[in-house]
Amino acid sequence: MSAPASAATPPLGARAVLLIELALAMGGFAIGTGEFAIMGLMPDVAQGLGISEPQVGHVISTYALGVVVGAPLLAILGSRLFRRQLLLLLMGFFAVGNFASALAPDYHALMAFRFVTGLPHGAYFGVAMLVAASMVAPDKRAQAVARVLMGLTLAILIGNPLATWLGQWLSWRYAFVLVGAIALLTVLLVALFLPRNRHEPRNSPLHEVRAFNRPQVWLALAISSIGFAGMFCVFSYMAPTLLEVTRVNAGWIPFALAAFGLGGIVGNMVGGWLFDRLRFQAVAWLLLWSTLVLLVFPLAAHSAWTIFPAVFAVGTMVSLSPALQTHLMDVAAGAQTLAAASNHAAFNIANALGPWLGGLAINAGFGWTSTGYIGAVTAVGGLLVFAWAWKLRETKECTVGDGVSCCD
pLDDT value of position 142: 64
pLDDT value of position 203: 60
pLDDT (average), residues 89-102: 95
Q: How many CA atoms lie within 13 A of 376 on its CB side?
A: 13
CB 162, CB 37: distance < 8 Å: no
pLDDT (average), residues 226-241: 86
pLDDT value of position 201: 61
CATH number at 309 reads 1.20.1250.20
pLDDT digit string (tens) for 254-284? 788 788 888 988 887 788 778 877 878 889 9
Judge residue 388's burial from the number of C-beta atoms within 10 Å of its C-beta, 0-12 exposed, 13-18 middle, 19 or more buried.
middle
pLDDT value of position 228: 86
Ramachandran category for residue 366: left, alpha or beta (phi over 0 → left; psi -120 to 50 → alpha): alpha
pLDDT (average), residues 114-124: 92
Closest C-alpha to 204, from 2, 355, 407: 2
CB 338, CB 72: distance < 8 Å: yes
Q: Which helix (H) or strand (E) holds 404?
A: strand 404-405
pLDDT (average), residues 279-307: 90
Indicate the residue type of 358: G
pLDDT value of position 294: 94
**pLDDT above 70 covers what percent of the chain?**
87
pLDDT value of position 94: 96
Count of structural domains within the chain:
1
What is the C-alpha separation between 249 and 232, in angstroms, rounded? 22
Whole-structure pTM value: 0.74
pLDDT value of position 402: 41
What is the C-alpha separation between 61 and 306, in angstroms, rounded? 28
Judge residue 307's burial from the number of C-beta atoms within 10 Å of its C-beta, 0-12 exposed, 13-18 middle, 19 or more buried.
buried
Measured CA angle at 147 (ends 198, 67), to 5 deg:
75
Residue of higher predicted confidence among 157 and 262: 262
Long-range (24+ apart) CB contacts under 8 A made by 396-403 are 398/214, 398/216, 398/331, 400/330, 400/331, 400/333, 401/1, 401/333, 401/334, 402/1
CB 6, CB 136: distance < 8 Å: yes
- Write out the residue range of the structural domain in which residue 239 sits: 5-405
Coil/strand/helix, residue 333: coil
Terminal Cα-to-Cα distance of the chain (whole angstroms): 23
Q: Flag whether pLDDT at 319 surpasses 90.
A: no
CB 171, CB 48: distance < 8 Å: yes
Q: Flag whether pLDDT at 245 surpasses 90.
A: no
Average pLDDT, the chain: 82
What is the C-alpha separation between 87 and 101, in angstroms, rounded? 21
CB 341, CB 126: distance < 8 Å: yes
pLDDT digit string (tens) for 219-233? 888 998 898 888 988
pLDDT value of position 404: 42
Q: For residue 206, what are the contacts with CB-CB under 8 A and spacing of at least 6?
A: none
Q: Provide the 10 A C-beta neighbour count for residue 202.
A: 15
Q: Flag whether pLDDT at 8 surpasses 70.
A: no
pLDDT value of position 398: 46
pLDDT (average), residues 309-333: 82
pLDDT value of position 206: 62
Closest C-alpha to 406, from 287, 224, 279, 284: 279
Coil/strand/helix, residue 12: coil
**pLDDT above 90 covers what percent of the chain?**
26
Residues in the chain: 408
What is the C-alpha separation between 408 and 406, in angstroms, rounded? 7
pLDDT digit string (tens) for 167-224? 888 888 999 999 999 999 999 999 999 888 766 665 656 666 665 677 888 888 899 8
pLDDT value of position 111: 92
Instruction: Give the DSSP per-residue string, 206-242.
Output: HHHHHHH--HHHHHHHHHHHHHTHHHHHHHHTHHHHI
pLDDT digit string (tens) for 379-403? 999 999 999 988 887 666 444 444 4
Coil/strand/helix, residue 392: helix
Judge residue 215's burial from the number of C-beta atoms within 10 Å of its C-beta, 0-12 exposed, 13-18 middle, 19 or more buried.
middle
Q: Provide the 10 A C-beta neighbour count for residue 131.
A: 26
Q: Which of 4-18, 47-61, 244-258, 369-383 has the highest mean pLDDT?
A: 369-383
What is the C-alpha separation between 326 and 340, in angstroms, rounded? 10
Q: Flag whether pLDDT at 110 surpasses 90.
A: yes
